[in-house]
């Protein structure tokens, strides 16, 4: 049995803003929607799954204002990319990603205490699309790149993730579903244009090709990209890695801090 606690949380990133450093309480909930199917005269109450799932996320913490900080992320409108690693931040550790809007934000002010904030989110896509199965959703998202700070102009390949060490079903190229998440928490382009991230895959851990290409970012932010059709639609090989590159003649002081997660399921 492996038990984990709050020190094991590596990152909670909301649209590129780190919120783990102000979070005091955190919860996520996945529910399968059931419909009651017993009829008049039946002795027992019965329920049947309708094939729909619900995901909810709640966070409480300190009110933290400033450009690029937690409160800014909480107050963004529209869908926000939320990604978190609650059981460690090493490559291959469990990862959850979600694209969804906040439902409510509550700020609490009380004498003798720092201001607090509470926010609730509901899914737009599912985390991630419940990985197409409520049974497999927690186990199929892995940290592709831990929260890291880089300075090389690139293109630079980061550490390889071998999916066989997690599940032998991923030994061969598989047709299925995959979604990549990037959370860029800090960026100094030093005169450059932007930074580009790509998740690449390989059958032999030597020859890599692009599988997921994110939108080039010129400021902190996040994005979720679903694997698109290539030579073989929605195939992803055993090995994956993240490649980054500063674009547009970045100077000597360029730096970026980011994390990446990858969710995949077999079909």
CA distance 219 to 41: 62
Peptide bond before 209: cis, by omega within 30 degrees of 0? Answer: no
| Average confidence (pLDDT) over 41-46 | 90
CA distance 248 to 194: 7
Domains of the chain by residue range: 6-36+46-129, 142-266
Closest Cα partner for 79 from 125, 141, 119? 125
Mean pLDDT, the chain, integer: 83
Helix (H, G, I), strand (E, B) or coil at 6: helix
Helix (H, G, I), strand (E, B) or coil at 131: helix
Q: What's the half-sphere exposure (Cβ side, CA atoms, 13 Å) at 236?
A: 28
pLDDT-based confidence at 177, cuts 50/70/90? Answer: confident
pLDDT at residue 174 in the model:
67
For the cut 50, the answer to whether the pLDDT of residue 253 exceeds it is yes
Find tokens 């963004």 and name the residue: 76
pLDDT at residue 135 in the model:
41
Find tokens 């102009």 and name the residue: 153
For the cut 50, the answer to whether the pLDDT of residue 2 exceeds it is yes
Question: Does domain 6-36+46-129 fall into CATH 2.40.70?
Answer: no
More confident residue, 226 or 250: 226
pLDDT-based confidence at 262, cuts 50/70/90? Answer: very high
pLDDT at residue 197 in the model:
97
More confident residue, 78 or 237: 237
Equal fold, 6-36+46-129 vs 142-266: no
Find tokens 């990985």 and name the residue: 131
For the cut 50, the answer to whether the pLDDT of residue 195 exceeds it is yes
For the cut 80, the answer to whether the pLDDT of residue 235 exceeds it is no
Helix (H, G, I), strand (E, B) or coil at 173: coil
| Average confidence (pLDDT) over 175-198 | 90
- Contact predicate 97/71, CB 8 Å: no
For the cut 90, the answer to whether the pLDDT of residue 170 exceeds it is no
| Radius of gyration (C-alpha) of the chain in whole angstroms | 20
For the cut 60, the answer to whether the pLDDT of residue 230 exceeds it is no
H/E stretch holding 71: helix 70-74
Q: How many residues does the chain have?
A: 267
Rounded to 5 degrees, φ, ψ at 169 are -65, -20
- Contact predicate 183/222, CB 8 Å: yes
pLDDT at residue 65 in the model:
82
- CATH topology (fold) of 142-266: Jelly Rolls (2.60.120)
């Amino acid at each position: 049995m492996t038990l984990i606690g709050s020190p094991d949380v590596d990152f909670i990133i909301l649209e590129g803003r780190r919120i783990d450093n102000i979070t005091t309480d955190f919860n996520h909930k996945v529910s399968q929607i059931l419909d009651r199917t017993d009829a008049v005269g039946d002795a027992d109450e019965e329920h049947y799954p309708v094939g729909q799932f619900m995901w909810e996320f709640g966070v409480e913490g300190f009110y933290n204002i400033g450009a690029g900080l937690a409160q800014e992320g909480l107050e963004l409108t529209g869908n926000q990319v939320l990604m978190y690693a609650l059981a460690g931040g090493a490559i291959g550790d469990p990862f959850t990603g979600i694209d969804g809007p906040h439902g409510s934000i509550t700020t609490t002010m009380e004498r003798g205490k720092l201001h607090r904030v509470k926010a609730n989110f509901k899914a737009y896509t599912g985390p991630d699309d419940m990985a197409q199965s409520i049974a497999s959703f927690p186990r199929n998202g892995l940290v592709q790149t831990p929260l890291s700070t880089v300075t090389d102009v690139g293109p630079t390949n980061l550490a390889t993730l071998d999916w066989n060490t997690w599940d032998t079903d991923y030994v061969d190229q598989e047709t299925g579903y995959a979604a990549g998440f990037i959370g860029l928490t800090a960026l100094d382009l030093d005169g450059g244009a932007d930074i580009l991230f790509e998740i690449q895959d390989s059958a032999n851990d030597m020859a890599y090709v692009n599988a997921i290409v994110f939108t080039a970012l010129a400021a902190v932010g996040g994005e979720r990209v679903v694997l698109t059709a290539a030579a073989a639609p929605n195939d992803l090989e055993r090995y994956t890695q993240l490649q980054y590159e500063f674009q547009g003649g970045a100077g000597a002081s360029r730096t970026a801090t980011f994390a990446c997660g990858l969710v995949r399921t077999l079909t």
